[in-house]
Structure 1
Amino acid sequence: MRHDLKKTLVTAGAFFIFFWFGFLDNLKGPTIPFILKDLGIGYSLMGNVLGLQYGGFFLATLAAGVLIFRFGLKKVFLGLSMLLLAGIGCAAAAPGYAPLVLGFFLTGLGLGAVEVAGNSTIVLLHPERKGKLLNLLGFFHGVGSMIVPIYAGALLSAHYSWRFTFALSLAPLTLFLIYLLAVKFPEYRREAAENIFALLKSAFTAEMIWHYLAICFYVAAEIGLAAWIIEYNYKIKGQPLFYSSLSLTLYFGLITGGRLLGSFVVDRLGHLRVLLAAALGAVVCLTLGLYGPAAVAFFLPATGFCFSIIFPTLTTSFSNICQAGIEKYLGFLFTFAGIGGMIGPWLIGLCGGWLQLGTSMSLLILYALIMLGSIAVLLGKAGNDLRVSRRSGA
């Protein structure tokens, strides 16, 4: 099998599993009320289930990069496929609380590994087009996220059980596992292994830390807005519930569409310049949407368009500074992203309990400003390095 064909087939597989990443990660939302009723558990116990799922996700993001480095992409893809099959199957068949916890934890492990393996596939196999293809990867995740409420809503409204809704996803996951077994993965350059202390030291250079900070606060803002936009528009802005819910759909739609459009421009315009413009646009949209008059309320969900290219393009920029053994370091980047995803919405809710949601939503602007500042530092450093290089060449 030719090398180019191998790369194409593996990349197609990465796009496919990223669609299911978005799908499975958001399948729990529509099914939670039915799970609670069926198993007779309360919100606190369900909260523990979701917390353990995210715990599994974090463990996988930390480990997957090193596992890819040591064992290769194919073995990690096979492993995450089996984790997802076991997790979804266990959850769908769970007769009680403990198997449900196990199922969600295994699913979290699988999804965390998908995050790292999918991005590593693009960075390792397509270094010359990684900006475009990472944005396309995010696009497929967004499509899966948008489709799942329609899918789950249709089945649950037709009186199919939540178990059946979960179990149907086992079919495409099984097909993906068979596909992986049939496809030959191309060879790519792998560096010599280093011990854990050397790895930790090399993973925290100044440039890498600014990338960690930027992606952490980006995800804090993205997930924070997604978690609270409906409640904010409904309770604080006084919008009808239908239009408040529509704002979330518009938000995710603009993120998805923006990534598709961004895939055609980010490599041409320069990664850090595009990131700075997107971050600045996000600050403006958040400020107008939160504190502007009712006539400009649409700027709040429109923030999704500015957010759209930031995650994949930050990943691209990060891979530019640590090309050797990049698969080892992506796990660190995505772990900081996960920290932002946990802290961002939690802190808004916590401050909303002390003060008011209308006040605590201003944290979104703070998150975006920290992200903007981090990107500005990276752009400034890149400019300084270029000037030094030119003087040296002269």
Structure 2
Amino acid sequence: MENPQHSLSADKARSPLKVNPKYNYYILLSIVFGGFLIFGLSENIKGPAIPIIQNEFSLSQSQIGILLALNSFGYLLACSFTSALSNRIGIKRTGILAFLSMALAGFVIYASSNYASLSASFFLLYIGNGVLEIGLGIMAARIFTRNTGFMMNLSHFFYGLSSTVAPTIAASLMGWNIFGGEMGWRGMYLFVLLLSLLPIVPSLLGKFPEETHEEDAKTTSYNTLLRDPVAWLIVAVLSFGVVSELAVGSWLVQFLVKAYSWNIKDASRMLSMFFLFFMLARLVLGTVTDKIGFTLSIIIASAFSGICSLSAILLGEKGAILFAISGVGIALIYPTVMALLAKRFPKGTGTAITFTVTLMGIASVIGNLIIGFIIDLVSRMFKSETGAANEILGLQVGYGFIGFLAFLCSVSSIFLYIILKKKKELI
């Protein structure tokens, strides 16, 4: 934080309370770290739930893809207005609104009785997730002005921490007996999403930094970003990387259950291992990104993830551990890109993040649709020996596409590296 006293000036004008700047800084850290913990839980409990939801509602793989795409669309919608919302009502109220909407989504998911209501409830959840992530990203960019790569990775480490335990917790909670019956996926979602009410307490106590002249920065930045090839390459890097990352959380359990006949708990443990490697990479390798450079870090990390994912498919069940190890590479992409944006666009950072993440959201919608349709298309085109749809081959090709996206992220990063090096603007 550059100057805690200065960052609080806008809030002092609105509140007569005086807060020790150092104490306030720790409150803000608790909100950022706690917010990422909640975000990781809400995002990654779906892995163990999806096979059960699919069976209960008799959904095809394409319908699952559409459900996940609607999630991404809700996230995309949130990205489009969060920066303006935070400028209008303040980052504090924006964060509180996100936490409240996520808790509300828990009740709506619990009441879902068909595919339409389930889709609507997940859509609401991801609007809350989108508002939360953009808000946390803006706040982190304003606070972490030194050792940016490490601090961004550290804050996202908490996302990885909760993501690591999320699948196992979800699988366990669904089996709990409450009031004479199993909690199931509905009760599990309600229980977990009610935890999003906890960060509201420090949010009410903290004084949030405000970016000065945000409106001017917004107008200038959007015009600049639209004409800047570097900005578009950053969008490509983030889109390919994040779609690959999120797809693992959505499809890995499904793949292991359908392709290798694993049970939900074992498949969930493998997803948890993916997030364990994911979490440790952000904790241990965050300093590396500051030392060797953000762009080079992304090139190496995304290529490593792609190699692990494709190798896991080629080796079959005995290579399943490579699905988890791929988390080492994919973990560094999002926070490193956020660090890159914070350094390249120090004025109007919120606008740069909104521009980049909104376009990434579009890619997420398309990516989830493509993966679901690839699985169904390949399954139907290449029948098994019994004449039935070859779902295993479809899942292999679909998951192969996830690994291919990681390679595309690396290739895009190479082009970004070349352009920045020519401009002598490598960060």
- TM-score, normalised to structure 2, is 0.77
Give the 3 Å change call, closer, same or farther, for CA 89–319 of structure 1 in structure 2.
same
Please name the residue that 1:263 is paired with.
Answer: 286
Q: Is the 8 A contact 2:144 2:152 kept in 1?
A: no
> Does 51-60 or 311-320 show the bigger shift?
51-60
Cα distance, 1:323 vs. partner?
1.6
One of 276, 288, 299 as aligned partner of 2:311: 288
Take 1:387 and 1:172, find their aligned partners in 2: how far apart are those partners?
A: 42
Q: Contact 1:68–1:327 at 8 Å: present in 2 too? A: no
Given that 2:218 and 2:348 are in contact with CA atoms closer than 8 Å, whether structure 1 keeps it comes out as no
> 1:43 is matched with which residue?
59
Distance in 2 (alpha carbons) for counterparts of 1:367 and 1:348: 11
What's the CA shift for 1:305?
0.9
Match in the other structure for 2:131:
113
Q: Does 1:340 align with 2:363?
A: yes
Kindly indicate whether residue 233 of structure 2 is the aligned counterpart of residue 248 of structure 1: no
Amino acid at match of 1:321: R
Partner of 1:201: 223
1:379 is paired with a residue whose SS is: helix
2:337 pairs with 1:314: yes
Confirm whether residue 351 of structure 1 aligns to residue 374 of structure 2. yes
**Residue 371 of structure 1: aligned partner:** 409
Q: Of 317, 323, 331, which residue of structure 1 is paired with 2:354? A: 331
Which segment drifts farther, 201-210 or 247-256? 247-256
How far residue 231 of structure 1 moved from its aligned partner, in angstroms, is 5.6
Q: How does 1:116-131 map to 2 (within 5 A)?
A: 116-131=134-149
Identify the match of residue 161 of structure 2 among 143, 146, 150. Answer: 143
Separation in 2 of the partners of 1:375 and 1:56?
27
Q: Does 1:79 align with 2:97?
A: yes
Deviation, structure 1 residue 325: 1.1
Q: Name the CA distance, whole Å, in 2 between partners of 1:129 and 1:10.
A: 17
Cα gap change, 1:368 to 1:147, in 2 (>3 Å): closer
The separation in 2 between residues aligned to 1:227 and 1:90, in whole angstroms, is 21
CA-based RMSD of the aligned residues comes to 3.5
Instruction: From the superposition, tell whether residues 239 and 26 of structure 1 become closer, same or farther in structure 2 (CA, over 3 Å).
Output: closer
Contact residue 214 and residue 371 of structure 1 kept, 8 A: yes
In structure 2, runs of 5+ residues without a counterpart are 1-18, 379-392
Of stretches 6-15 and 51-60 in structure 1, the one that deviates more from structure 2 is 51-60
Question: How much has 1:171 moved relative to structure 2?
Answer: 5.3
Q: Distance in 2 between matches of 1:324 and 1:377?
A: 25
Separation of aligned partners in 2, 1:361 and 1:41: 23
Secondary structure of the 1:203 match is: helix
Cα distance in 2 between the residues matched to 1:170 and 1:297: 30
Please name the residue that 1:392 is paired with.
none
Deviations 1:64-113 (A, max 9, x none): 12322444321211221222233223434568888766543332211111
Asked if structure 1 preserves the Cα contact closer than 8 Å seen for 2:39 and 2:159, the reply is: yes
Whether the aligned pair in 1 keeps the contact of 2:289 and 2:297 (CA below 8 Å) is yes
Task: Answer yes or no: is the 8 Å Cα contact 2:105–2:124 preserved in 1.
Answer: yes
Deviation at 1:202, TM superposition (A): 2.6
Q: Is the 8 A contact 1:66 1:327 kept in 2?
A: no
Partner of 1:182: 205
3-state secondary structure, aligned to 2:355: helix
1:341-382 Cα deviation digits (max 9, x unpaired): 333343234334334434454434532332112211222222
Secondary structure of the residue that 1:386 maps to in structure 2?
Answer: coil
Amino acid corresponding to residue 76 of structure 1 in structure 2: T
SS of equivalent residue, structure 1 residue 76: helix
Deviates more, 1:159-168 or 1:226-235: 226-235
Identity %: 22
1:127 is paired with a residue of what secondary structure? Answer: coil
Residue in structure 1 matched with residue 78 of structure 2 by the alignment? 60
Number of equivalences: 384
Instruction: Tell me the CA shift for residue 271 of structure 1.
Output: 1.3
Query: Is the alpha carbon distance of 1:213 and 1:16 closer, same or farther for their aligned partners in structure 2, counting shifts above 3 Å?
Result: same
* Preserved CA contact (<8 Å) 1:288 1:297: no
- Describe how 1:211-230 pairs up with structure 2 within 5 A: 211-229=234-252
Aligned position for 1:9? 27
Q: Does 1:23 align with 2:41?
A: yes
The two structures have a TM-score, normalised by structure 1, of 0.82
After superposition, the Cα gap between the structure-2 partners of 1:202 and 1:68, relative to the gap in structure 1 and judged at 3 Å, is farther
Q: State the distance in 2 between where 1:14 and 1:21 align.
A: 10
Query: 1:33 Cα deviation (Å)?
Result: 7.2
Give the aligned partner of residue 384 of structure 1: 422
Going from structure 1 to structure 2, the CA distance change for 1:387 and 1:222 (only over 3 Å counts) comes to closer
Note the residue ranges of structure 1 that are not aligned, 5 or more in a row.
Answer: 389-394
Alpha-carbon separation, structure 2, partners of 1:294 and 1:35: 25
